[in-house]
Amino acid sequence: MSPCDAHVSEIAGYLFDPWIVAPLILSLTLYGIGWIRLGFSSRRRAACYLSGWLMTAFALVTPFHELAERSFAFHMIEHEIIMAISAPLFVAARPYGVLLWALPGSVRIGFARMLHQQMPRAVWKFLCRPLNATLLQGAVIWLWHLPPLFDATVTSMPIHRWQHVSFLVSALLFWYALSPVYRAGQALACVFFTMLHTGILGALLALAPQVLYPMQTLHASDWGLTPLEDQQLAGMLMWVPAGTVYAGAALLYAARWIRGPRRPLSRPISPAGGDDAAL
């Protein structure tokens, strides 16, 4: 087990970090309560939410996470699961109203009113502009892949937690900002840009002539790889499979765009609203 797992208990091969497990359990519990209170609303959206939850749990609290601690390549897969699979599934679920309905009435109404105040609305509107969300996610990705910072996640659990949180939050904002039907053209451009810059980063890792992440590749020999080969494999995973996910999304947005302009959906800028949230 890597040094950063010193304060995390391990039971039957599963990693139980309370700072990860508690939010996962709470989010699933709240969604279940809200879904029941709303009369078992859209099963398709519930399936999307549960799928995103399961993928996140798989990446962070199963033995797969231990593999990611000991292999740069598996660590890269873990991040791609969070950002390119779990996040769009959560956005497709549109869980805002369901989660709000899990709260007591006074808390729910107070929270919704807070989100509709001028300052929170302005901040949310700024963050959810496609270009802003794309640049934010890009900055988060490139910042965390700076070698000193990335290696620090292997030896410091708090830093590692912040890495996962920032990856998930930035990805949620990214996919949410691209979700309205009338933004298909902008979404296509933003996904293409994301595919391009993550591909460049993956290529830099794959083609680097020397090891950039000595701590992250420390256990490469456990898998029959040299540290450089582990880094190259991680770069290839970011470059090709992850790029394929973004390419698939780009094709979907392109098809939506080609179908022609549509009237903007009547969709609030706050996650508290929408057809999910009958306050």
Q: Is the confidence at residue 203, as pLDDT, over 50? A: yes
pLDDT band, very low/low/confident/very high, at 260 (cuts 50, 70, 90): low
Nearest-CA neighbor of 56 among 167, 137, 174, 162? 167
Angle subtended by helix axes 130-144 and 157-177, to nearest 10: 160
Tell me the pLDDT tens digit for each residue of 155-172.
898 999 999 999 999 999
CB 9 within 8 A of CB 16: yes
Average pLDDT, the chain: 87
* Tokens found for residue 118: 């001028």
State how far the Cα of 65 lies from the Cα of 61, in Å rounded to an integer: 6
pLDDT band, very low/low/confident/very high, at 279 (cuts 50, 70, 90): very low
Would you say how long the chain is, in residues? 279
Residues contacting 221, CB < 8 A, separation 6+ = none
pLDDT at residue 160 in the model: 92
pTM of the predicted structure, to 2 decimals: 0.87
Q: Where are the domains of the chain?
A: 3-258
pLDDT band, very low/low/confident/very high, at 22 (cuts 50, 70, 90): very high
Tell me the pLDDT tens digit for each residue of 37-68.
988 878 999 999 999 999 999 999 988 988 88
Q: Is the dihedral of CA 206, 1, 140, 168 positive or negative?
A: positive
pLDDT at residue 142 in the model: 98
pLDDT at residue 14 in the model: 56
* Tokens found for residue 67: 């593999």
Nearest-CA neighbor of 223 among 67, 86, 7, 4? 67
pLDDT at residue 267 in the model: 47
pLDDT band, very low/low/confident/very high, at 83 (cuts 50, 70, 90): very high
pLDDT at residue 107 in the model: 85
Nearest-CA neighbor of 163 among 146, 173, 150? 150
pLDDT at residue 111 in the model: 81
Query: Which DSSP symbol is given to 11?
Result: E
pLDDT band, very low/low/confident/very high, at 201 (cuts 50, 70, 90): very high
